[in-house]
């Protein structure tokens, strides 16, 4: 199945195209740093996995607390302006990382604060806009289409990053990331204006989150955030240590996994709107959990590729219908799409922060591999949604 089959008979709106273009430009930057950022922090923090985890968990915890503020600002000035403003703080985040080695403590704190502001201003408007610009009937295929575009754009990003790091330094990557992020603002300017009303107060948002009616939402997104943190921090560091710190090898193997991911996405994407989403999510999460367990036994570059590709198959099989189902839930709530999105972000980021706290206690005692079975268990709880 090709990318053209995914979009056959689907009318893509102007707003969806603009958001997709923005997504693809950002994918080039995230493709380089999704893998190498925790490695950079590991080096700057004197090879302390402990402080890398502290950096991430503190950022996610603060974002969970500030997510409603982003929605409130979005209501006042509009999602487009807020998302554009958010990228400014994203640029400041990379600028702080550029100067990190001059004063690690100061610039680590400043970097994290800018990252929290970026997330607060960006992710709720992004998800709200995406929910509005996609069609319920074809949402699965639209999301598969967007995912494939992102993968295709980012397939060479890890390899490029590995090459640049072999020949130069992280500073080059930071400058490149800043340039890419500034370009990514251009498509956002093409988004149409949307009238948005966020009905919850800050205090009411957290009261709503813990109501019984949102118990399944809390559990599913908490679990999703918890298992996701392992992929964000532990897996890249594990690969880096396994390949003896060879940047090019790390980038090349990751690029191969991305190619395998694209193939998996092509196979799965067209079935998302045909097969019941719950059924596909259950099968996908089982494969995904098995993939986490398989990563415990990885010992070579070839095994990284095989385990990573198999894991990607499970990820796509559950993630595509899970996200499509999530956006359906958002739109089913009508005028409460913004509020529902905020509850999702809070739950997910509390999950990431909680997993970070557990890892702080266990990684130093048991080692990095303890994170993989934990992620496997949490990935199964996503099905409760």
Average pLDDT of the chain? 85
The pLDDT, as a whole number, for residue 329 is: 64
Q: How far apart are CA 347 and CA 126, in angstroms?
A: 17
**Which stretch of DSSP H or E encloses residue 382?**
none
Q: Which domain holds residue 342?
A: 13-384
Q: How far apart are CA 295 and CA 232, in angstroms?
A: 14
The pLDDT, as a whole number, for residue 6 is: 47
**CA angle, 85 then 343 then 82, to 5°:** 10
Whether the predicted pLDDT of 10 surpasses 60: no
In a domain, 3, yes or no: no
Helix 247-269 and helix 235-242: axis angle, to 10°?
130
Q: Which token pair is 206?
A: 């957290």
Contact 142, 12 (CB under 8 A): yes
Q: How far apart are CA 42 and CA 230, in angstroms?
A: 15
The pLDDT, as a whole number, for residue 174 is: 93
Residue in 232, 263, 260, 265 with CA at minimum distance from that of residue 147: 265
The pLDDT, as a whole number, for residue 385 is: 66
Q: How confident is the model at residue 149 (pLDDT cuts 50, 70, 90)?
A: confident
In a domain, 84, yes or no: yes
What is the arithmetic mean of pLDDT over 125-144? 71
Q: How confident is the model at residue 1 (pLDDT cuts 50, 70, 90)?
A: very low
pLDDT per residue over 272-330, tens digit each?
556 666 777 888 889 999 999 999 999 999 999 899 888 988 888 888 777 777 766 66
Q: Which token pair is 160?
A: 């490029």
Q: How far apart are CA 346 and CA 343, in angstroms?
A: 5
pLDDT per residue over 47-96, tens digit each?
999 999 999 999 999 999 999 999 899 888 888 899 999 999 999 999 99
Q: Which token pair is 375?
A: 């992620």
In a domain, 8, yes or no: no
DSSP 8-state class, residue 245: T
Residue in 339, 45, 383, 91 with CA at minimum distance from that of residue 224: 383
In a domain, 7, yes or no: no
Contact 229, 56 (CB under 8 A): yes
In a domain, 337, yes or no: yes
Helix 157-167 and helix 14-44: axis angle, to 10°?
40
**CA angle, 220 then 271 then 383, to 5°:** 15
Question: CA separation (Å) from 295 to 51, 53, 253?
Answer: 23, 20, 14
pLDDT per residue over 232-255, tens digit each?
999 999 999 999 988 888 888 888
The pLDDT, as a whole number, for residue 275 is: 64
With tokens 């958002």, the residue in question is 330
- 201 backbone dihedrals φ, ψ, rounded to 5°: -80, 170
The pLDDT, as a whole number, for residue 91 is: 96
Residues ≥6 apart with Cβ < 8 Å to 125? 70, 74, 79, 80, 82, 83, 86
Exposure string over 151-164, b if 16+ CB within 10 A, otherwise e? bbbbbbbbbbbbeb
What is the arithmetic mean of pLDDT over 264-271? 64
pLDDT per residue over 319-373, tens digit each?
877 777 776 666 555 556 788 889 999 999 999 999 999 999 999 888 899 999 9
In a domain, 67, yes or no: yes
Report residue 303 CA to chain centroid gap: 24
Domains contained in the chain, number:
1
* Helices marked H in the chain: 3-6, 14-44, 49-77, 79-98, 104-133, 139-154, 157-167, 170-188, 202-209, 215-229, 235-242, 247-269, 277-294, 301-332, 337-366, 371-381
Tell me the CATH number at 274.
Answer: 1.20.1250.20
pLDDT per residue over 194-224, tens digit each?
777 778 889 999 999 999 888 888 999 999 9
In a domain, 1, yes or no: no
The pLDDT, as a whole number, for residue 259 is: 80
Most confident of 18-27, 33-42, 103-112: 103-112
Q: Which token pair is 171?
A: 């500073």
In a domain, 47, yes or no: yes
Q: How far apart are CA 238 and CA 215, in angstroms?
A: 34
Q: Which token pair is 273?
A: 């709107």
Exposure string over 57-67, b if 16+ CB within 10 A, otherwise e? bbbbbbbbbbb
């Amino acid at each position: 199945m090709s990318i053209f089959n995914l979009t056959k008979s689907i009318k893509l709106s102007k707003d969806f195209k603009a958001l997709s273009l923005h997504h693809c430009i950002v994918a080039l930057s995230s493709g380089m740093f999704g893998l190498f950022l925790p490695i950079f922090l590991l080096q700057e923090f004197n090879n302390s996995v402990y402080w890398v985890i502290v950096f991430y968990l503190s950022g996610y915890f603060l974002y969970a607390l500030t997510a409603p503020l982003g929605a409130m600002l979005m209501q006042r000035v509009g999602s487009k302006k807020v998302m554009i403003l958010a990228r400014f703080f994203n640029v400041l985040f990379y600028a702080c990382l550029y100067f990190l080695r001059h004063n690690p403590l100061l610039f680590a704190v400043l970097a994290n604060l800018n990252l929290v502001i970026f997330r607060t201003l960006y992710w709720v408007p992004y998800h709200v806009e995406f929910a509005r610009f996609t069609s319920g009937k074809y949402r699965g295929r639209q999301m598969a289409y967007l995912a494939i575009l992102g993968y295709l754009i980012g397939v060479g990003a890890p390899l490029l990053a590995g090459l640049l790091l072999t020949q130069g330094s992280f500073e080059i990557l930071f400058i490149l990331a800043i340039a890419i992020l500034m370009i990514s603002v251009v498509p956002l300017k093409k988004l149409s204006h949307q009238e948005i009303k966020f009905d919850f107060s800050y205090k009411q948002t957290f009261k709503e989150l813990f109501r019984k009616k949102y118990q399944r939402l809390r559990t599913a997104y908490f679990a999703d955030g918890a298992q996701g943190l392992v992929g964000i921090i532990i897996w890249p560091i594990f690969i880096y240590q396994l390949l003896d710190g060879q940047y090019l090898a790390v980038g090349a193997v990751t690029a191969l996994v991305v190619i395998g991911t694209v193939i998996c996405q092509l196979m799965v994407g067209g079935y998302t709107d045909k097969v019941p989403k719950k059924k596909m999510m259950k099968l996908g999460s089982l494969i995904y959990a098995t993939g986490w367990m398989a990563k415990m036994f990885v010992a070579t570059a070839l095994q990284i590729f095989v385990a990573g590709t198999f894991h990607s198959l499970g990820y796509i099989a559950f993630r595509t219908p899970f996200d499509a189902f999530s956006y359906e839930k958002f739109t089913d709530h009508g005028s409460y799409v913004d509020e529902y999105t905020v509850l999702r972000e809070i739950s997910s980021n509390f999950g990431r922060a909680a997993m970070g706290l557990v890892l702080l206690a266990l990684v130093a005692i048991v080692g990095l591999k303890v994170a993989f079975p934990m992620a496997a268990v949490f990935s199964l709880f996503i099905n409760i949604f």
